[in-house]
Structures are given as structure tokens and as C-alpha cells.
Amino acid sequence: MKVYVMRHGTTDWNEARRLQGNSNTSLNQKGIAITKRASEAMKDIPFTHIYSSPLGRAYETAEIIRRDRDIPIIKDDRLTEVGFGIDEGVTIEERTPGCKVFFEDPPSYVPAEGAESFESLIARTGDFIKSVIIPLSVKEPDATVFISGHGAMNKALALNFLKRDLKDFWAGAWQTNCSTAIYSVNGEDIKLLKDGVRFAESGAGKGAPSPKQDLF
């Protein structure tokens, strides 16, 4: 089974470099445009299942990618972006010192007031994989799954898929808006096929690294 994990399209808060987290922001016109370009490039991929974070920016991305496929979009709270608590909505310059550690030294991160821990994020995404993705790969090995998510949440999926340590949470390509990671899932046998694929760009090449602060 193949699994495509995409980060949502661009929002106003992305362009203002504000931390979104659990905030229910929507795609802006740029975000809609790049998602439509990605959708066109992915139109021949035979998706059979679509899962999405319930947050607007991710669900709107899933709707655009779905096109006219007769597939329900299943919202799952376990795919929600990590919460930043009191750092929600602030700019990179305004964030608390602890939030900077989130990006630079995950094992040392201590959540600020109202924020979610790495342990919680990893646990809920791991539960989604164990209860949804792995059983589906056994039941329908020829299925093709699309997941519409977020910067940190998608990295938590990657950590669980590839059995990485927390210190390597940010390993691999940074997911810019509409960037996609593609996995092969056969029960517990999970492999990363491609990382940082930018379907919205000509040639759908591998994404170049970008600042982690642009992930959210």
C-alpha cells in the first residue's frame, strides 16, 4: 500500500510567520492556487482513501486534492497539528524561549502553558498508524492513501513510520506548503519512498530545505 502525506497549502499566518498549531486557519488565495497545481499534477494517482486533520487548512487541501474522486474525506483528531498553547498566533520573534527549543532540541523541549508535548503528539499519531494505516495495508494491500496534515504532525507520522528517535524528529526534507512524503506500507514493514516531493512545482522535484519556523 502507498501512503502520501502532504502538508496543507499556504495560509495568511504562514506568510506572516505566525505559529498556527491548533488554530483553525484557512487557505489563502496563494494556498488555494498551489494546492490546485498539486491536485492537477496528482490527478492520475489512484487514491482509494483520504484522511485529514480536522483543521480547516488541511481539510480544504484534502478537498482540492480529491477533485472528482468519489471518496469520503475522513477527519481524524489524531492528525491535528501540535498545539503551541500561549505561543499560538505569535510571530517567530515573539515566541517564548521554550518554543525555540521545540525546533532546535526536541528532547529538551518543555511545553509552555497550554502546549502539547512531543510525547503526546507522537503517541496519538502512532495510534493512528497502528489502528488505521497498518490494518488497512493488510486488508487492502493495493490501496493508495492520501493524508492531509501539518508540519510537525507529519514529522511525527514519519518518526513512527520509520522508528526514529526524538532527537531525529526533524530529519529528512522540510515540508513546505503542499510538500509530500510517500511511503510504502506492508503491515509493520514501512519504507520511505520519496521525501519533500513538490507536486505543485514543475517536475515535482525534491524540495529544498527551508527554515523549520515556516512549517506551521
> How confident is the model at residue 50, as a pLDDT?
98
pLDDT above 60: residue 212 = no
> How confident is the model at residue 98, as a pLDDT?
83
Q: What is the pTM of this model?
A: 0.93
> How confident is the model at residue 97, as a pLDDT?
84
Residues 35-70: tens digit of each pLDDT: 999 999 999 999 999 999 999 999 999 999 999 999
> How confident is the model at residue 15, as a pLDDT?
92
> How confident is the model at residue 214, as a pLDDT?
55
210 band by pLDDT with thresholds 50, 70 and 90: very low
Of 80-84, 90-94, 132-136, 186-190, where does mean pLDDT reach its minimum? 90-94
Cell of 188: 509493520
Using an 8 Å Cβ cutoff, are 145 and 65 in contact? Answer: no
For CA atoms 64, 118, 165, 77, the dihedral sign is negative
Q: Taking all residues of the chain, what is their mean pLDDT, rounded to a whole number?
A: 92
Using an 8 Å Cβ cutoff, are 8 and 61 in contact? Answer: yes
> How confident is the model at residue 92, as a pLDDT?
82
Number of DSSP helices (H) and strands (E) in the chain, helices first = 7, 6
Using an 8 Å Cβ cutoff, are 118 and 101 in contact? Answer: no
> How confident is the model at residue 207, as a pLDDT?
40
pLDDT above 80: residue 102 = yes
Domains in the chain with CATH codes: 2-215 (3.40.50.1240)
